Structure formats: C-alpha cells, structure tokens
Amino acid sequence: MAPTNRTRLSQTLMVLAAVAAAMPLSAAEHMAAAHASIQAADASRHVNALADDAFEGREGGSRGGRAAGTYIVAALEKLGLQPAGDNGGFYQNFGAMRNILALVPGSDPALAHELVVVGAHYDHVGYGTASNSYGPTGYIHNGADDNASGVAGLLELAEALGHLPSRPRRPLLIAFWDGEEKGLLGSYHFLRVRPAVLAAYAPVFSVNLDMIGRLRGERLEVYGSRTAAGLRMACLEANARANLELVFDWEITDDSDHYPFIAAKIPTVMFHTGLHDQYHRPSDDTHLVNFSGIEPVTRLVLDFVTAIADDPRPSRPFRGQCRTESAATRRGLEMPAAETVTSGPRPRWGIGTRGDACEPEAPIVVRVTTGSPMAKGGVLLGDRIVAIDGMPLADQPDMLAKLAAAGDHIEIDVDRKGRRLRLAVNAGATALEISP
Ligand SMILES: [Zn+2]
C-alpha cells in the first residue's frame, strides 16, 4: 500500500523533527558534556567505596584487593566498556593478582593498533608491613589518596570518553593495575604479557594517575614531560580550561607505574597532587581527600589523552635523554643569564631567551632588562614564550624573526608554571614617557 499525500507530509514533518532533535552537537559541546560528566560527587562515591574498611586496604591478591577489583569491573560494565583482559573478561590474571583492562577502540584504521594506555593502580598495602608502611602497622591502610583517588579519576575519565562525538584516532586502554605496592608488578606484567585480544596492539604512549586526591593551591605535579619532545606544550594546551599550576619534575624514579613504561622506552606522563604526612599510613583516609580537586585534574587528563590519541602525526618517539636529565639539568637550562652589556643602541624588547631542545616551541626567558618593554609588559624570568601576536613559534630563531618583524605593540603569550598568559608589550613605551 502506497502512502497518501497526507501521510507523506506527516512523515516528512516527523523526519524533520527527528533531524532537529538529533541535530549533532558541535565538537565543543560534546567536549563540554564530557567535562561536565566528570563530577566530584562521583569521584567521592568511588573513593569512599574503595577506601572503605570492607576492602581491608586492597592489598594485591588479598580478599579485599579482589573485592576492589569486583567493584571496578562492575563500574566498567555499567559504563558499557569493552573488556580487554583474558578470555573475553576485564581481568588479566597474574598469580593471585589481577589487572583490569578495558579498550576504547580507535577510529583511524592506520593508527588503530597504537595503544594509548591510561592507568592507575588500585591496590594498596592492606594492613601495612615494616617495609611498605610508615606505620602504625596492623591497622587497615585505606589508601584513599593512594590510589583510590587515581582509580576514581580514571573511572570518571572512562565515563567522559563516552560523551565524545567520535572515538579518538588511536585506541585507549583504560588500565587498573594490581600489585603496584609490591613492586609495580601489574604494569610490568602487562608490558611482558599482553592478553590475546591485544596481541595486535603496541603501547605508544602512557599516562599514569597516582595520588590525585590532594590538590592543594591548584598545584599539580607532572612527571615524565621530557620522555618525548613537546609534552610540556601538550600539557599547557590540556590545562587551558583547568588552569592549574603545573609543576614539571624532571626526575624519573621507579616509585609508580609510569616507570616500567619509561624503562620500555614508551613516552609516559604521570600526574600527581603531591606527597603528604599520611602517605602509606592508616591515616590516608577519605576525609582528607579534596574531591572537588579531582575534577580539574581529571578534566586536564581527559584533554591531554584525547589530544595524544587524536594526533594525526606519527606517534612521538621516546626521548632517551630524559633518563639522564635531573633537577640539576633543569636548573642549568633555566638559570638566569647575566645582563649583556651592549655598546650599540638599546635592544628594542629587552629579554634574552634560551632554547630547549625538548621544547623548541617554547624558548625560556633567562634575562629581562630592568625597565625594558618586556619588563614593563610583565614578562618574568623563567617564563616560556609560546606565541607572538597569537602566532605559535617553531623555535627560538623563529621567535627572534617574529620579534624583529613585529610592530611596536605586541601581544606575547607566555607559559608561566603551566598556565598560558597573554601580556601586552609596547616597545614605544619609552617615547610616551618623554615629558616636556
Ligand atoms: Zn603507594
């Protein structure tokens, strides 16, 4: 039976209504929805559950540790994530311990096997021993910050990924490591033995969330930013909305699950809100967790991992120099330079910069001449110049060329402690100061 004109019209109207209702959100609206889904209240619920005495401190392989695993798997099932463990499940077993793995497939067939691993360990130290607790031992160590906070952030991140309009180009592996407190056992195991379902995949990048529950003064520590070129700049971009103070630490130690990846020459960044007096003590408990602080940290991590996973360029090569760069190397690179004495005309802008081979797009300000236009514009020692008049820089020579070509009034973007600031600099200022 053919439809009548009347039904055709009503069908057309219905189709139009359906189209309007399903009007695609813009990418920005999707990202806003993804950000909004990351909620302190949800993080609080997860931390309170995982750090409950019922889980007895989540020691790897213990009944409490296994119960915590059951809780995480139930949360992943609720989110509808794809299991990536052994035999079609979420668990990757090793001894009595279990990593928990979920896969968000990539959308680009050419990059579909380049795994971006985002991990957090879910085990803690149980009742504590002389070797893993600062005491008192024999009491449940709930590990609310270490690392129920990282697990909560990762579950919120997994939920947020579901709000994105399309999957990132590269696949993401959401990984909850077991046995971290026993010597990074879960992450080492994963790097040695991949579940069959991941046989065709190779990790090209990893992110580690360990202790993100004590954000103080908006200060977020970032480790591993020198394991590949340009990662500091990637963190700066990801921080655009969260606007936290980023503290880049160049030391790489084997104290969390970032280390096995770095040892395997895989670029890796770890986010961490810092140590505290309750670290590895029974007193690391939920009432001290800054739940609202987990929101901006997790949102930053969401923007960071999606940018890495969605980058159409070849994956970033590991930068071996990161293993020998220390806090002392950093001090040397960022050390202020002596004022240069020039006999010719006074330089127009009044700064000196030093290039950084790992972050060529962000030369470091190592000299600011007192009273110069840059000084008056608010440029400080240690700032990194990232744009002139809104144009990003290729490297230090490009910055010099842009400054030479610029007019007397410029806008200069600097990276100051991981925050992007725009400063107005007026090279003609001295002329305006001439009084009759
Ligand atoms: Zn720990």
Q: What is the CATH number of the domain that holds 373?
A: 2.30.42.10
Domain co-membership, 161 together with 306: yes
SS3 160: helix
Domain co-membership, 282 together with 424: no
Return the pLDDT at 23. Answer: 61
Domain co-membership, 312 together with 371: no
pLDDT at 213 over 60: yes
Check the CA dihedral 70-39-203-79 and report its sign. positive
- Cβ of 431: how many Cβ atoms within 10 Å? 9
pLDDT at 343 over 70: no
Domain co-membership, 251 together with 300: yes
- In eight-state DSSP terms, residue 355 is -
Say if 242 falls within a structural domain. Answer: yes
Which amino acid, 19? V
What is the CA(275)–ligand 1 centre distance, in A? 10
pLDDT at 8 over 90: no
Between 342 and 236, name the one with better pLDDT: 236
Write down the residue that tokens 């200060």 correspond to.
219
Say if 17 falls within a structural domain. Answer: no
What is the CA(280)–ligand 1 centre distance, in A? 6
pLDDT at 9 over 90: no
Q: How confident is the model at residue 16 (pLDDT cuts 50, 70, 90)?
A: very low
End position of a domain, from candidates 322, 348, 373? 322
What is the CA(135)–ligand 1 centre distance, in A? 13
Structure tokens at 30: 């999707």
Ligand 1 is a single-atom ion; what residues have CB below 5 A from it?
Answer: 146
Return the pLDDT at 29. Answer: 87
Return the pLDDT at 240. Answer: 95
pLDDT at 21 over 90: no
SS3 4: coil
What is the CA(138)–ligand 1 centre distance, in A? 17
Say if 19 falls within a structural domain. Answer: no
Say if 232 falls within a structural domain. Answer: yes
What is the CA(147)–ligand 1 centre distance, in A? 7
Domain co-membership, 421 together with 274: no
pLDDT at 294 over 90: yes
What is the CA(215)–ligand 1 centre distance, in A? 17
State in Å, rounded, how far the first CA of the chain is from the last one: 94
What is the CA(233)–ligand 1 centre distance, in A? 29
pLDDT, tens digit, for every residue of 254-277?
Answer: 999 999 999 999 999 999 999 999
- In eight-state DSSP terms, residue 37 is T
Cis peptide before 147 (omega within 30 of 0): yes
Question: How confident is the model over 330-346, as a mean pLDDT?
Answer: 79
Q: How confident is the model at residue 5 (pLDDT cuts 50, 70, 90)?
A: very low
Domain co-membership, 288 together with 340: no
pLDDT at 199 over 90: yes
Say if 3 falls within a structural domain. Answer: no
Q: How confident is the model at residue 1 (pLDDT cuts 50, 70, 90)?
A: very low
Structure tokens at 36: 């909004």
What is the CA(246)–ligand 1 centre distance, in A? 22
**Rounded-to-10 torsion of CA 81, 54, 270, 198:** -30
The total of structural domains in the chain comes to 2
pLDDT, tens digit, for every residue of 398-411?
Answer: 999 999 999 999 99
End position of a domain, from candidates 322, 351, 383? 322
Structure tokens at 15: 């189709």
Domain co-membership, 269 together with 366: no
CATH number at residue 281: 3.40.630.10
Question: How confident is the model over 83-106, as a mean pLDDT?
Answer: 97
What is the CA(265)–ligand 1 centre distance, in A? 23
Return the pLDDT at 7. Answer: 47
Say if 8 falls within a structural domain. Answer: no
Per-chain mean pLDDT for the chain? 92
Return the pLDDT at 117. Answer: 98
Structure tokens at 244: 């936290």
What is the CA(300)–ligand 1 centre distance, in A? 22
Say if 343 falls within a structural domain. Answer: yes
Work out the percent of the chain whose per-residue pLDDT is above 90. 86
Task: Write out the H or E segment, with its range, that includes residue 176.
Answer: strand 172-177
Cα 70 from Cα 142, distance rounded (Å): 17
What is the CA(151)–ligand 1 centre distance, in A? 13
What is the CA(240)–ligand 1 centre distance, in A? 29
Q: How confident is the model at residue 348 (pLDDT cuts 50, 70, 90)?
A: confident
Work out the percent of the chain whose per-residue pLDDT is above 70. 91
Question: How confident is the model over 309-313, as a mean pLDDT?
Answer: 96
Return the pLDDT at 341. Answer: 64
End position of a domain, from candidates 272, 289, 322? 322
Domain co-membership, 116 together with 213: yes
Domain co-membership, 198 together with 261: yes
Q: Which domain holds residue 309?
A: 27-322
Structure tokens at 89: 């499940």
What is the CA(398)–ligand 1 centre distance, in A? 44
Domain co-membership, 409 together with 373: yes
Domain co-membership, 300 together with 344: no
What is the CA(23)–ligand 1 centre distance, in A? 46
Between 357 and 3, name the one with better pLDDT: 357
Return the pLDDT at 15. Answer: 47
pLDDT at 108 over 90: yes
